[in-house]
Amino acid sequence: LSIIPGTTLAQNTTAGTIELDMPGHFQRQSVSFDYVRRDVMIPMRDGVKLHTVILVPKDARNAPILMTRTPYNADHMTSFASSGDMSSVLEGYDNMTDVIADGGYIRVVQDVRGKYRSEGRYVMNRPFRGPLNGTQVDHATDTWDTIEWLVHNTPESNGKVGIIGISYDGFTALTALFHPHPALKVSVPMNPMVDGWIGDDWFHNGAFREENLPYIYDQDATPKNDEKWWSNHYDAYDLYLNAVSAGALGKSRGMEQIGFFRQITAHLAYDSWWQNQAMDKLLVKEGLTVPTLLVHSLWDQEDSYGAVATWYALENVPTSARNLSIVIGPWNHGGERVEASKLGDIKFRADTGYYFRKKILEPFLAHYLKDSTISLPARVSEFRTGENIWETASKLPAPDCASECKALHLEPGHGLGFTIPGVDAGAAQYTSDPDHPVPYVPRPVLTKGVTGSPWKYWLVTDQRDVASRPDVLTFTSEILTKPLTIEGEPLVHLTASTTGTDGDFVVKLIDVFPDQVSAQPEMGGYQLMVSADILRGRYRKSFEHPEAIPANTPQLYKIALPFTNHTFLPGHKIMVQIQSSWFPLYDRNPQSYVDNIFFAPKAAYKPATISVDIRNSWIDLHTK
Ligand code: PG9
């Protein structure tokens, strides 16, 4: 086949000529669009070029830049609709068009190193330069180099740049704060991953979030997620149970080829690898010099820890604290970017997502990026669930309950109350069998991404389903006659013994609705988790140095539950549930001590009987 030079429409073959349909490169006619799209490859200091999409509103002059750095495909995030209208093409994921497009911002979305159309190699948790990263680049340098390029190559801009993003993109918004470029005027990390071991995506207090294996596989096997996780089970409960351990399942999919899989299966404890990547701890050392608005969701199924931990870490460093604000809303992971008048069955009476975007985010960005005479929102904005109201404050209650906490005690007979039970309160027992772990949602368990999966709102699903299981302990208060408002991180003090030598403890603080709710009948008797988390028993004394549990010997398990701001209304009851598995969200604990739970052999998984010491178990609550 030979092409005659200069012939573009017809192709000559030895047998003749044919008109071709498809040009080598189709040129989109975008003259009537209300924006101009630029696809650029921005060079980093090591020569690697990062693919960056820049959408400039038509006729923009002196406009600020709002950027997001993402591993989730910059092309996709800037092409949600086939339209010449900037707010339509941005209508999805991080974009929040009612603030960003309507606000006249120049929108920049960049593929991070090694993902989608960016050059270089991807590292899921890329440490900053230093002991864990001997190269000359990290997310902070890539952000700096990008901003440097943008301010010199975007003539429509006013030279002011903000960074914003949710989850991973919230993590990259935090990384921008290290040695920041002088043009970076504001950062908005929303639901950011901050500490992947204590309470964000990968582990919670040492228990591995097994259902993230598919995410790791898809993100890390290929730059463009072409290789997809596969399953031969509709019910993920069976998939993970049959595989025995998370490590065995990963290996059966060839995941030892993936660096991040090798890292997490080697760094089980909270060692220096995790500590040196904890953004809150690193920011304390760095100091916060750029105004930052943290966004936290009360029912965040992926990053329930990071934003509040960052607040607490920086709050007592005056030079940093003055640059810090936070908003805490009744959302799931990223729920603030969309319509949010309800979550699952829980109604909030008004669109809390719109309130956040219009009353908090919009003036915050505008103040720093457009006009400093625009009033800033309050330093702390919190939605109180139960009452369903917005509140403002200047600080959050201290995390350690040093003074004003009230202790909610377990009581004999599965009761719960504010008085200390007597010395004869005794114990409550259950047997946890790893062959029959407690499902975290009713089976079949349809995981994230599967059609019909409850993943996005599972934290507000009714807990009645498990309350009647013999391996879930349930303690319930009397019916409340007055409202009870709690705020902050409930601090669990659980004293228990086990016949095993390791074990997990899940503690759930629950609002039990009245038996009948006339305004919403399906809520009658509903058991709504307001805060809950897990602790892997071997880390009860130290996150860094695990220790087997001495069998049949009472031990103290302290668990800081995720932040809540909730009113238990009159007519409601308070409930605490305790169990030893939350499967397959978390991998099973074999309950007999093995060095590496990722590769525990089948024989190590043994039933154990747990005795909870009633008198010595309570939850410290900040009441108000
Ligand atoms: N929760 C997701 C994530 C964050 C950080 C690391 C890995 C995953 C996310 O939604 O981006």
Mean pLDDT of 100-105: 94
Give the distance, in angstroms, between the CA of residue 342 and the centroid of all CA atoms in the same chain: 19
Distance 417 CA to ligand 1 centre (A): 38
Is the shortest distance between the CB of 195 and ligand 1 below 6 Å?
Answer: no
Distance 167 CA to ligand 1 centre (A): 5
CA-nearest residue, atom 11 of ligand 1: 168
Alpha-carbon gap, residue 296 to 310, rounded angstroms: 11
Which residues are CB-contacts of 164 (< 8 A; sequence separation ≥ 6)? 66, 67, 68, 94, 100, 173, 187, 188, 190, 365
Mutate to test the pocket of ligand 1, among 73, 191, 201 (most ligand atoms within 8 A of CB): 201
Alpha-carbon gap, residue 516 to 524, rounded angstroms: 4
pLDDT in tens, 281-329: 999 999 999 999 999 999 999 999 999 999 999 999 999 999 999 999 9
pLDDT in tens, 55-66: 999 999 999 999
Please give the ipTM for the structure prediction: 0.95
| Average pLDDT for the chain | 95
Side by side, the strands of the sheet bearing 389-393 are 35-43, 49-57, 106-111, 63-70, 157-166, 184-190, 292-297, 324-329, 380-384, 389-393
Alpha-carbon gap, residue 328 to 284, rounded angstroms: 21
Distance 383 CA to ligand 1 centre (A): 24
Is the shortest distance between the CB of 168 and ligand 1 below 6 Å?
Answer: yes
**Per-residue model confidence (pLDDT) at position 2:** 45
Which residues are CB-contacts of 8 (< 8 A; sequence separation ≥ 6)? 23
**Per-residue model confidence (pLDDT) at position 403:** 65
> Which tokens is 280 given?
């809150």
**Per-residue model confidence (pLDDT) at position 28:** 82
Model confidence at 8: pLDDT above 60: no
pTM: 0.96
pLDDT in tens, 367-423: 999 999 999 999 999 999 999 999 999 999 988 776 679 999 999 999 999 999 999
Is the shortest distance between the CB of 171 and ligand 1 below 6 Å?
Answer: yes
> Which residues are registered as beta bridge partners of 130?
133
Q: Is the dihedral of CA 95, 99, 102, 107 positive or negative?
A: negative
Nearest to 496 by CA among 608, 605, 410, 616: 616
